[in-house]
């Protein structure tokens, strides 16, 4: 039985799916989250002749158009396929994917699922319900659960409250993974300790205070802070208070040396920022608790959840992933721990109508080998994100890296690949485990969701190339319309 059933989609979903295909192609350019609006504003601010930068030179030529992959929905488009035509297309897709899936570079176990997001029809499947270690493709599940629990506009608060005694203040962590101590946020809008310190200093001085004792409260999360894999450059200790993801140095993504005490380091950075603004901080910041019911004197807000999801998926950010899993737990009334997040993510996905049988969400990032999901679960989530019933899940699609352009797919399926610029997918890599799951507009204009999971691969390079060939085949195997 397919995980996504045709009867679950409302009448007219095919039209909605094709409309989303247009949006997917439009969005599939070399931009990261937030940059599209900046580019649009910049263009709008220029004059009709192209802006002062061009002077009296001839106007630049228009950029070449992308191939007409959406001709099926334009004026004079051919009629939709007959059932026979669809069956022929599915057979053709199976004939292409079967041999590619048998590539020894994909290891000793491999599963696959390809679904038409507009109809929910399973176009190809091989072991689609078999639970496998997904590596970072589990971030698709983390993203969907967080968006379902909190919505795309939700922002995470970091606050400063009065302490339990006179002259005391408490820096309270809310779990914002975008919080930074840098003067200019490296990733655009997000929580800022610099802005929070300025607002706190202003509030203190307005109350006639320029000397305080600082405590910090990181009690929102419970359980072990260390990921089960232990100390690792791919992730910091998971705490509700951390600046710049606990990174030492100037890196903003990828592996990096991490602090063992993210909360304490964030508090010490905050104390220094207060000192710079004329507020004397007595002693070193100490761990404490904000008084019950204390009202914030200053607040800074995270990037909206949609932006956090997009950043997490585009760059495979493990710190954001674990933060979003815990935020899902908090929104679900569960403990903000690895165990609480696991149950909360599972419950949210089940409530969306996704088959979670045999799945395990031991973490939000996919760094652990205890995670288990199926290819069918991943395509089920992607189809839900593309459908009209759950618009809050759209960032799951818009955050996926674009083949040949962005994030972890920048160098994959690039150049003259039929998937370049059209395929959006989340990668997954652990030793002996390689996966790829995402969406692609095929040559007939259908938006397809796909997932390929493998195990016991002999090496990442060969496995990634084999996965890319599978994805390119999905993009290039069209279903020709019948007259």
Dihedrals phi, psi of 394, to nearest 5 degrees: -55, -40
> For 173-284, where are the E strands, in sequence order?
211-217, 280-281
DSSP string, 358-376: T-B-S-SSS-STT-BB-HH
Which helix or strand (DSSP H or E) is residue 385 part of?
helix 375-386
In the beta sheet, which residues pair with residue 60? none
Given the residues 21, 113, 136, 332, select the one marked as catalytic: 136
From 411, 416, 337, 345, select the one nearest 145 (Cα to Cα).
345
DSSP string, 250-269: S--SSS--B-S-HHHHHHHH
Tokens 């899936």 correspond to: 101
The token duo for 350 is 């089940």
Other beta carbons within 10 angstroms of residue 357's beta carbon come to: 12
Annotated catalytic, 316?
Answer: yes
Please compute, for residue 119, the number of CA atoms within 13 A of its CA located in the half-sphere on the CB side: 11
Q: Cα–Cα distance between 281 and 272 in angstroms, integer? A: 8
Q: Cα–Cα distance between 238 and 388 in angstroms, integer? A: 35
Q: Cα–Cα distance between 196 and 179 in angstroms, integer? A: 10
The token duo for 26 is 């439009």
Helix (H, G, I), strand (E, B) or coil at 176: coil
Annotated catalytic, 136?
Answer: yes
Residue 312 CA: distances (Å) to CA of 42, 138, 398, 426 = 26, 11, 11, 10
Tokens 């009202």 correspond to: 295
Given the residues 316, 332, 337, 359, select the one marked as catalytic: 316
Please compute, for residue 268, the number of CA atoms within 13 A of its CA located in the half-sphere on the CB side: 8
In the beta sheet, which residues pair with residue 113? 125, 451
Annotated catalytic, 139?
Answer: yes
Q: Cα–Cα distance between 405 and 367 in angstroms, integer? A: 25
Given the residues 13, 28, 113, 139, select the one marked as catalytic: 139
What positions carry a catalytic annotation?
136, 139, 316
């Amino acid at each position: 039985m397919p995980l996504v059933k045709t009867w679950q989609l409302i009448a007219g979903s095919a039209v909605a799916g094709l409309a989303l295909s247009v949006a997917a192609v439009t969005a599939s350019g070399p931009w990261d989250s937030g940059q599209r609006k900046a580019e649009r504003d910049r263009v709008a601010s220029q004059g009709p002749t192209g802006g002062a930068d061009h002077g009296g030179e001839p106007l630049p030529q228009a950029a070449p158009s992308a191939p007409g992959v959406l001709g099926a929905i334009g004026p004079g488009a051919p009629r939709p396929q007959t059932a026979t035509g669809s069956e022929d297309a599915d057979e053709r897709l199976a004939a292409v994917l079967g041999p590619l899936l048998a590539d020894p570079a994909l290891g000793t176990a491999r599963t696959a699922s390809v679904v038409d997001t507009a109809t929910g029809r399973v176009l190809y499947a091989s072991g689609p319900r078999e639970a496998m270690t997904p590596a970072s493709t589990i971030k698709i599940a983390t993203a969907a659960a967080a968006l379902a629990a909190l919505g795309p506009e939700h922002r995470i608060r970091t606050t400063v409250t009065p302490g339990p005694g006179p002259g005391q203040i408490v820096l309270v962590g809310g779990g914002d993974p975008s919080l930074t101590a840098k003067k200019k946020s490296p990733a655009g809008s997000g929580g800022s300790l610099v802005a929070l310190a300025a607002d706190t200093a202003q509030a203190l001085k307005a109350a006639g205070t320029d000397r305080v004792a600082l405590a910090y409260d990181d009690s929102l999360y419970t359980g072990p802070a260390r990921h089960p894999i232990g100390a690792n450059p791919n992730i910091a200790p998971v705490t509700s208070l951390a600046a710049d993801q606990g990174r030492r140095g100037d890196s903003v993504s990828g592996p990096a040396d991490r602090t063992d005490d993210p909360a304490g380091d964030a508090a010490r950075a905050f104390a220094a920022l207060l000192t710079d603004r004329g507020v004397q901080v007595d002693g070193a910041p100490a761990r404490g608790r904000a008084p019950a019911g204390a009202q914030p004197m200053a607040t800074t807000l995270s990037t909206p959840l949609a932006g956090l999801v997009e950043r997490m998926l585009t760059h495979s950010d493990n710190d954001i992933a674990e933060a979003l899993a815990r935020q899902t737990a908090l929104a679900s009334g569960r403990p903000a721990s690895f165990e609480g997040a696991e149950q909360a993510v599972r419950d949210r996905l089940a409530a969306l109508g996704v088959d979670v049988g045999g799945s395990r969400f031991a973490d939000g990032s996919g760094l652990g080998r205890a995670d288990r999901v199926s290819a069918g679960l991943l395509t089920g989530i992607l189809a839900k994100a593309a459908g009209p019933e759950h618009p809050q899940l759209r960032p799951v699609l818009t955050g996926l890296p674009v083949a040949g352009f962005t994030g972890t797919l920048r160098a994959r399926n690039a150049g003259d690949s039929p998937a370049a610029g059209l395929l959006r997918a989340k990668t997954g890599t652990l030793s002996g485990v390689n996966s790829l799951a995402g969406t692609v507009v095929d040559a007939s204009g259908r938006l397809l969701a796909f997932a390929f999971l493998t195990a016991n691969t002999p090496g990442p390079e060969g496995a990634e190339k084999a996965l890319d060939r599978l994805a390119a085949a999905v993009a290039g195997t069209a279903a020709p319309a019948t007259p």
